[in-house]
Structure 1
């Protein structure tokens, strides 16, 4: 008496169902991996943009805090006020000033004062530095912040704001400056900066010259007296 052998296996329908399930799992894995890569890329780009914005604020803070009452001369020899500013986004520098405290790590034979300018060119906020305060050609611009649609600047003096500063008020430096940056994605950023915190203006009666205390010494706010000044 013989027994027939039974062979175990899969039917064609079972194989097709298995392949379909495997394909769905693979597609889901690819989608998750793609989303993870895109999220990582977007996060990296956002962190880079935040770093650029932080760096821009730090550089502007240092330049404006060290702003000095020192007029300069342009490439043609024309005298330029110590601080010139307006509001706009053209290629022409919208902010130009002379700052002190320029670090000299290499010990080069140069001044510790530096002329700098800011402009927006091609949607990028740029900082332009000059090797010398008077008569020198600018160095290549350094890109600070990209994807900039518009930059607005305002300058504060004696409690009032102005969209332009050229020293016509009789004071070489404003008290403060407001920066307003509109980005291409529609977001807006605002920041206030103190200008020339080591700069003390001359008395309003003209009885004495302006003085510059050591770096880091804050100026006495307008309308306040230094303790012990009364006799």
Structure 2
């Protein structure tokens, strides 16, 4: 007598349970893959954002490290301050040295620059000449967009933070005797939040700039003499 061995197959319930298990595993694998891709994309975006911030800070740092105490003549022919903090148009305006002249143009290697935040973008403004006229047109560079806040605060010799300079209380004090000793910049850039940098400012003027100032003042005296 021949015995017949019967192979027992999967029941419908077992098949449905197996399909459900594989479905859950597939869903978990997909979610893990999507999370990994989103995390990788976020890291790339943060990396690119960090590079943009570093480039902007390099420009600001290069300007501030070469800040010199040299006042300029504005569009109205009046001599302004050595630098100005808290202006109506620019948050901070100053003169910097080291403006490279590769084309050997007839211009100074000093440059007047300024910074401000407008519509979420940090702009750098500069002029091709130090002493401006009514026809002088400023050049504007966009440094960093998507900025929530950009504040520049001065630090006085007494260690106090000031939001404008020259201060109203400095009207009777010689400018060279009441200079700021530092500058604090706070900027809020998503997704990193608020960050703070502090730079030291020069408190004396180099002999070359003193001679340049004397030449400018002598030229002003000559112009006033001719006008009278």
Q: Which residue of 2 aligns with 1:116?
A: 113
For residue 40 of structure 2, give the secondary structure of its aligned residue in structure 1. helix
The superposition leaves residues 113-165 of structure 1 with CA deviations (integer Å, 9 ceiling, x where unpaired) of: 21211101122222222233333312233223633234141232365542211
Report matched runs for 1:93-104 at 5 Å.
93-104=90-101
Q: Are the equivalent residues in 2 in contact too, given 1:66–1:195 (CA < 8 A)? A: no
1:21 aligns with 2:21: yes
Counterpart pick for 1:211 among 191, 207, 212: 207
Q: Are the equivalent residues in 2 in contact too, given 1:180–1:188 (CA < 8 A)? A: yes
Q: Are the equivalent residues in 2 in contact too, given 1:156–1:174 (CA < 8 A)? A: yes
For residue 116 of structure 1, give the secondary structure of its aligned residue in structure 2. strand
Q: Are the equivalent residues in 2 in contact too, given 1:56–1:145 (CA < 8 A)? A: no
d(CA) in 2 for partners of 1:16, 1:74: 83
Q: Which residue of 1 aligns with 2:81?
A: 81
> Structure 2 vs 1, CA of residues 3 and 157 (structure 1 numbering), >3 Å: closer, same or farther?
same
Structure 1 residue 177, shift from structure 2 partner: 1.1
TM-score, length of structure 2 as denominator length? 0.70
d(CA) in 1 for partners of 2:74, 2:34: 54
Q: Are the equivalent residues in 1 in contact too, given 2:121–2:147 (CA < 8 A)? A: yes
Flag the structure with higher helix content: 2
Question: Which portions of structure 1, spanning 4 or more consecutive aligned residues, are displaced by more than 6 angstroms?
Answer: 1-5
Q: Are the equivalent residues in 1 in contact too, given 2:98–2:110 (CA < 8 A)? A: yes
Aligned residues between the structures: 200
The superposition leaves residues 40-93 of structure 1 with CA deviations (integer Å, 9 ceiling, x where unpaired) of: 222223333433443343322221221223222445555432311128xx8x21
Structure 2 unpaired stretches of 5+: 210-228
Report matched runs for 1:162-181 at 5 Å.
162-166=162-166, 168=170, 169-171=173-175, 174-181=180-187
d(CA) in 2 for partners of 1:34, 1:178: 42
Q: Are the equivalent residues in 2 in contact too, given 1:127–1:142 (CA < 8 A)? A: yes
Q: Which residue of 1 aligns with 2:223?
A: none
> Structure 2 vs 1, CA of residues 150 and 100 (structure 1 numbering), >3 Å: closer, same or farther?
closer
Report matched runs for 1:6-155 at 5 Å.
10-75=10-75, 77-86=77-86, 92-135=89-132, 136-144=136-144, 146-155=146-155
Q: Which residue of 2 aligns with 1:225?
A: none
